[in-house]
Amino acid sequence: MLNFYMPVRLYGGKSCFEKHREEIASFGKSCLLVTGASSAKKSGAFEEVTGILNSLDIAWSLYDGVRENPTVASCMEAGKIAAEKNVSFILGIGGGSPLDAAKAVSVFAANPSLDETAFYKKEWDNNPLPILLVGTTAGTGSEVTDVSVLTDSKKKKHSIHDPRMYAKLSFCDPAYTMSLPLPVTLSTGIDVLAHAAESYFSKKANEISRAFSVRSISLLYRPLEKAASGEELSFDEREALFEAAILGGLAICVTGTCFPHNVGYYLTETYHVPHGIACATFLEDFLKHVKTVDAKYSEEFYDRIRIDENSLTELIRKVLPQSDIRMTPEKIKKALPRWENNGSVNNTLGTVHLEDIQAYLSEKFVY
Ligand code: NAP
Ligand code: ZN
């Protein structure tokens, strides 16, 4: 059954932020920039964005305390700063971490006394401030989702989604991704593949999401292959990766993700594995699982993406680095309850039992 909603006004291409300066000005006279430690500056986005804000007479303050797998606490801190300064909008610059953080900051800015529990329960008295996003990785698709993935005070990653957290404007300038180091290109690129594939085999997939998934993988395959061989990517290839990332984001707007994402969170929380690599660790298991559930649907997937199963598996293996993670069977057993009645696990086509997850983890990490 069809269903699709995505209200973000998206602009892509070189210098897209500058080209839409008038629209940016319509969000008010002051903003809080939300960034990571250095990516906004390394990518060139910070200089261009602040130059344009200055020329538009928009006052800006900077919160650059977002770290990978951002914490709710850091978003609260930034939200309080935004409230004190009485800014009119929040502008996130960076990869998924600063963009996801910017969404939560906009909630805390409008509700500065909100605590973590009330935040997750969405007991927000006031609507979040308008959110503008400037992406610097081509991966999460956070630019077009209403999802924010944050680490709570118990150091657990949770995604929260709410239509009030959609950005008003998102900018996808591939020039900002030219500075990505190879490991980040690979991790963010394989995250795109995980989004598109998980979405395709989600119980919630429909013709719209499948079309996004298929095109995303078609755009992604060659540049990611090239990057996995250690070759530099051109602007056009970076642009294709960014487009693939956005299409992947649109696919998960409809369906959400499946078990590789949630099991991947465990690797990130416990062993600090980068998000995309963590999720892709279980992608081959996932593709095998869905094939056993519905061989015809799986065959149709490879036909539609025009990549055969072996080549896709080879790409996943090529991107995944050697892992030196070791787990004991007891440790795995202890972790299992977190996947009981888990949304992403239940979203996967067929049935994924806790014993299946136990087997995936054991095969890889118990020696
Ligand atoms: P990220 O965590 O935002 O960034 C990874 C690393 O790359 C950081 O060290 C960052 O530096 C650096 N970096 C970013 N852009 C750069 C550039 N242009 N040049 C040089 N370095 C750059 O990575 P991400 O994979 O984009 O985001 C991952 C997060 O998004 C995870 O928390 C994940 O759970 C979440 N996620 C969200 C969604 C969604 O729909 N909202 C979907 C999937 C995943 P800085 O630290 O300086 O920024
Ligand atoms: Zn992801």
Give pLDDT, residue 225: 98
Mean pLDDT of the region 129-140 = 98
Beta strands 157-161; 147-151: pairing state: antiparallel
Mean pLDDT of the region 283-312 = 98
Q: Is 182 in the pocket of ligand 1 (CB under 6 A)?
A: no
Three-state secondary-structure class, residue 84: helix
Residue 1 has pLDDT above 90, yes or no: no
Mean pLDDT of the region 348-362 = 98
Cα-Cα-Cα-Cα dihedral sign, residues 69, 15, 169, 7: negative
Residue 31 corresponds to which tokens in the numbers above?
Answer: 């903003």
Judge whether 218 and 166 are in contact, CB under 8 Å: no
Mean pLDDT of the region 355-361 = 98
User: Read out DSSP for 121-171?
Assistant: TT--SSPPPPEEEEE-SSSS-GGG-SEEEEE-TTS-EEEEE-GGGS-SEEE
* 2/247: higher pLDDT: 247
User: Read out DSSP for 185-245?
Assistant: HHHHHHHHHHHHHHHHTBTT--HHHHHHHHHHHHHHHHHHHHHHTTPPPPHHHHHHHHHHH
pLDDT band at 367 (very low <50, low <70, confident <90, very high): confident
Q: Calculate what percentage of the chain has a pLDDT beyond 90.
A: 99
Atom 6 of ligand 1: nearest residue by CA position: 184
Residue 128 has pLDDT above 90, yes or no: yes
Partners of 159 in the beta sheet? 149
Residue labelled with tokens 């025009």? 306
Residue 148 has pLDDT above 90, yes or no: yes
- Where on the phi/psi map is residue 359: left (φ > 0), alpha (ψ -120 to 50), or beta? alpha
Mean pLDDT of the region 215-238 = 98
- CA 137 to centroid of ligand 1, rounded, Å: 6
Residue 43 corresponds to which tokens in the numbers above?
Answer: 């990518």
- CA 26 to centroid of ligand 2, rounded, Å: 32
Among the bound ligands, the one closest to the CA of 174: 1
- CA 351 to centroid of ligand 1, rounded, Å: 31
Give pLDDT, residue 308: 98
Mean pLDDT of the region 113-129 = 97
CA distance 73 to 80: 11
Among the bound ligands, the one closest to the CA of 186: 1
Residue 212 has pLDDT above 90, yes or no: yes
Residue of 133, 184, 195, 238 with the most ligand 1 atoms within 8 Å of its CB, for mutation = 184
Give pLDDT, residue 29: 97
- CA 225 to centroid of ligand 1, rounded, Å: 20
Among the bound ligands, the one closest to the CA of 195: 2
pLDDT band at 152 (very low <50, low <70, confident <90, very high): very high
Q: Is 184 in the pocket of ligand 1 (CB under 6 A)?
A: yes
Mean pLDDT of the region 261-283 = 97
Q: Is 161 in the pocket of ligand 1 (CB under 6 A)?
A: no
- CA 337 to centroid of ligand 2, rounded, Å: 22
Kindly report the pTM of this predicted structure.
0.97
Give pLDDT, residue 302: 98
- CA 68 to centroid of ligand 1, rounded, Å: 6
Mean pLDDT of the region 237-251 = 98
User: Per residue in 49-97, pLDDT tens?
Assistant: 999 999 999 999 999 999 999 999 999 999 999 999 999 999 999 999 9
CA distance 167 to 92: 10
pLDDT, mean over the chain:
97
Atom 39 of ligand 1: nearest residue by CA position: 142
Residue 297 has pLDDT above 90, yes or no: yes
pLDDT band at 220 (very low <50, low <70, confident <90, very high): very high
Mean pLDDT of the region 305-333 = 97
Residue 267 has pLDDT above 90, yes or no: yes
